[in-house]
Amino acid sequence: APSRVLASLNYSAGGWEAATVRVLPTNKVQVITGTSPHGQGHETSWAMIAAEKLGVAPEDVDVLHSDTAISALGLDTYGSRSLPVGGVAIALACDKVIEKAKLIAAHQLECAAEDLQFVNGTFSVKGSPDRALPLAAIAFGAFTAHNLPDGCEPNLEAQVSYDPPNFSWPFGTHMCVVEVDTETGAVKILKYIAVDDCGNQINPLIVEGQVHGGVVQGIAQALFEEAVYDSDGNLKSSNLAEYLVPAACDVPSITTAHTITPSPTNQLGVKGIGEAGTIGAAPTVMTAIIDALSSLGVTTMAMPASPQTVWKTINQATRGGKK
């Protein structure tokens, strides 16, 4: 399991994540997650996972996070782990809720639990669709506890701490076309194409946004961002006037596409996507610049490839290394 692997690397924490799913007597659903979203769209995606599992509308799911008074367990958000660990934990908690609800439904319908099927938020007896109970009725019944099977605790809630059996491995191919002005060293990105595989996609629009944002961050690393220090160790690029980041006019239209290879290591078949664009973009842009200048004898380029850096590299290559 990832936690054992992390232990072998002297990592201070484990690789697990926690989730709690609670169906209220109003049939509204609370999802409590240990992941902490800050722009990744967890609230939307987690609500979609729970809604599909439980047969409720996504707008009836409330995702709670980022407060230890509410969510005491969890290892937070990093390393593209939120969905393949935290999202899967939510799915597993939903499964436990459904199993408990099935026992209550079987008791109230006076049938065996294995004779029930759960479709679109309703339990029904196989072959007798008229004998059915919606999840809303079971949630209310679990709350009142007036007619529960022996040994069944009131309320409809389940908690899961999920340590995956293995990691997941997203992959992809990024391509870039650049134009380099050999007189000034200016680099212009003409075209950028990213084809990524993050397994099954919960929300394709969020996947697109994650890739676009990641690619722009990788372009920033390749062409703009640099921490500059003076001889005394003082940071000189300490504000956004000196620490450059790309503006909209510096970024081309990004073409994205996807292949879908479900991960075999979790029930949702998902993989992370948050860092795919960043990891691919920086080396792709740098390799394109070097390729564009290869006829001039350029074989390497320092990051960031600012106009000054590119101009110096061209001159060193064309003058046999003489400054």
Locate 263 and state its tokens: 């991960």
- How far is the C-alpha of 188 from the C-alpha of 306, rounded, in Å? 11
User: Each residue of 4-55: pLDDT tens digit?
Assistant: 999 999 988 889 999 999 999 999 999 999 999 988 999 999 999 999 999 9
Locate 186 and state its tokens: 């200016």
Residue partners of 70: CB distance under 8 A and separation at least 6: 32, 64
- How far is the C-alpha of 231 from the C-alpha of 191, rounded, in Å? 39
Structure confidence at residue 2 (pLDDT): 86
Report whether the peptide linkage leading into residue 304 is cis, meaning its omega lies within 30 degrees of zero.
yes
Residues of the chain predicted below pLDDT 50: 323
User: Each residue of 53-92: pLDDT tens digit?
Assistant: 999 999 999 999 999 999 999 998 888 999 999 999 999 9
Structure confidence at residue 76 (pLDDT): 87
DSSP 50-80: HHHHHT--GGGEEEE-S-TTT------S-TT
Structure confidence at residue 321 (pLDDT): 53
Instruction: Report yes or no: 142 and 155 within 8 Å, Cβ to Cβ.
Output: yes
Domains detected in the chain:
2-162 (3.30.365.10), 171-318 (3.30.365.10)
What's at 83, amino acid-wise? L
Structure confidence at residue 12 (pLDDT): 86
SS3 36: coil
- How far is the C-alpha of 312 from the C-alpha of 222, rounded, in Å? 16
- How far is the C-alpha of 41 from the C-alpha of 44, rounded, in Å? 5
Please tell me the pTM assigned to this model. 0.92
Instruction: Report yes or no: 289 and 301 within 8 Å, Cβ to Cβ.
Output: yes
Structure confidence at residue 79 (pLDDT): 87
Structure confidence at residue 26 (pLDDT): 95
